[in-house]
Copies of this chain bind each other. A is one copy, B any other.
Amino acid sequence: MTIDQILEANADKYEEELCELLRIPSVSADSTHAPDVRKAAKWVADQFTRLDFPTEIVETAGHPIVLASSPPVEGAPTVLVYGHYDVQPPDPLEEWISPPFEPTRRNGNIYARGATDDKGQMLTHIKSAEAWMAVEGKLPVNVKYIIEGEEEVGSAHLEQFIADNKQRLACDCVVVSDSSQFAAGQPAITYGLKGIAYFELRLHGPKQDLHSGTFGGAVTNPANTLCKMLAALSDEDGRVQLEGFYDDVTPLSENERAQFAELPFSDETFMTQLGIDGVTGESGYSTLERRWARPTYDINGLWSGYQGEGAKTVLPARAGAKLSFRLVPNQEPAKIAAALRAKIEELCPPGINWELKEFHSAHGVVVSLDSPYMKAAALAIEAGFGRAPVFIREGGSIPVVNTFKEILGVDTLLLGWGLDDDNTHSPNEKFSLADFHRGIKASAHLWQELAKI
């Protein structure tokens, strides 16, 4: 039998095994489920021990990490598969059509908490190894697995573990399947993520709230000042007005722009989905370019003075905001923070003191489209899904991708088998069973393609 044939022969078994895993309510956020989380770790570890892979359940101060590795193949590339076996809480329970931990098939999908995020997607890379072991007795490359149980609660112990186990985790590239295809029937490889620099700005004016009649117009109003400052951080063309903000920006290549433009994306559909009557942003760029590959500036929160019903004639003593910049590769969060401080200092009028708190930051990452790993992944996906993937980027950050880049020095291939409407983190989470099997096939072909590098 060929690999593809064995995958077909075992399709039912794979689904049954997925259901087994989905029945374990491994909710990492809920301490009453700690035994279930451990049970899921054990279930995953058993998958590997059955293949005779060296396997370890590593304890952390939180939930355990499962490590395993395929039989060594001298001279072949080494791939690190990252995934997670923990799931989001299922609430609100009453909105589930079928119970979250009783996996149910409907319309070609399997419905359960964790179906797509990430039990179903993660499992594809184990089943593909199983098929290779059955047919060939080995894999054509070295595959290491790191499957954690704290992804849904912030991966608190992962970064330190990776830093402490650099040698053990050393690899040529990382593979993560924990995201979505571009659209149903259109697989994608996410080759870029934005970075972020997130801040809280607090302005302090008079020592207490004042009567806006008695003092207004003469005492600098922190709320007015906050609006002036935050407004001054971007211009009418949607360009961020911090010194040197665009200096290090890696521009979109003509090739990327052409690829984005070819994607089946329409502003009209996008607007309808969000309930808005127009889009705006940095001038000279399309919506997808703005979302995926241009740095942005968003106010995430605002507060000052009186927020209740009716009118209160107060000149507020304080005003504050949360604001963040999404960064593209090559932009340095620390430089952005320094430029923001300089700008605020420049804009701050007499009568106001300011305070800037720096929250998390991350670099943007992008994997070269010319990377041999990327090309291997594209061929594998085409083999698995029957259609070549499109290459997309994403405006969010995935911290673990930065961790792998910064600590292990390697790029991550983001191969999403899910769909945007899979209801991750919501009731009625689902995963297409067809995509589950296509994902296994793509993964099996990925080992093959990577072996050719």
Contact = CB atoms under 8 A, between A and B. Distances in A.
Interface of A: 194, 196, 198, 200, 205-207, 210-221, 223-224, 226-228, 230-232, 234, 238, 271, 274-282, 287-288, 290-291, 294-307, 310-316, 319-322, 324, 326, 349-351, 353, 359-360, 394-397
Given A304-B302, A313-B198, A349 B280 contact: yes
Nearest to A221: B298
7 contacts: A213-B326, A217-B395, A226-B227, A299-B305, A301-B305, A301-B307, A302-B319
Contacts of A360: 311
Interface centre among A291, A298, A321, A326 (most CB of B within 10 A): A298
B301 A316 contact: yes
A298 B306 CA distance: 12
A220 B351 contact: no
A438 to B, nearest CB: 24
B274 A216 contact: no
Contact of A213 (B302, B306, B397): B397
Contacts of A234: 224
Contact of A228 (B231, B296, B320): B231
A326 to B, nearest CB: 6
A291 B200 CA distance: 32
Nearest to A291: B218
A224 B297 contact: yes
* Copies held by the complex: 2
Contacts of A395: 211, 213-217
Contacts of A305: 299-302, 322
Contacts of A312: 300-301, 322
B301 A304 contact: yes
A391 to B, nearest CB: 17
A304 B319 CA distance: 12
Contacts of A320: 307
A131 B306 CA distance: 48
A298 B228 CA distance: 12
Nearest to A231: B231
Given A213-B396, A326-B213, A218 B281 contact: yes
A394 to B, nearest CB: 7
A301 B219 CA distance: 16
A224 B236 CA distance: 12
Contacts of A219: 274, 276, 279
Contacts of A321: 223
B227 A276 contact: no
Contact of A223 (B212, B213, B301, B311): B301
Contacts of A277: 350-351, 353
A214 B274 contact: no
A318 to B, nearest CB: 11
A206 B207 CA distance: 37
Contact of A302 (B303, B326, B349): B303
Contacts of A198: 311, 313
A217 B281 contact: yes
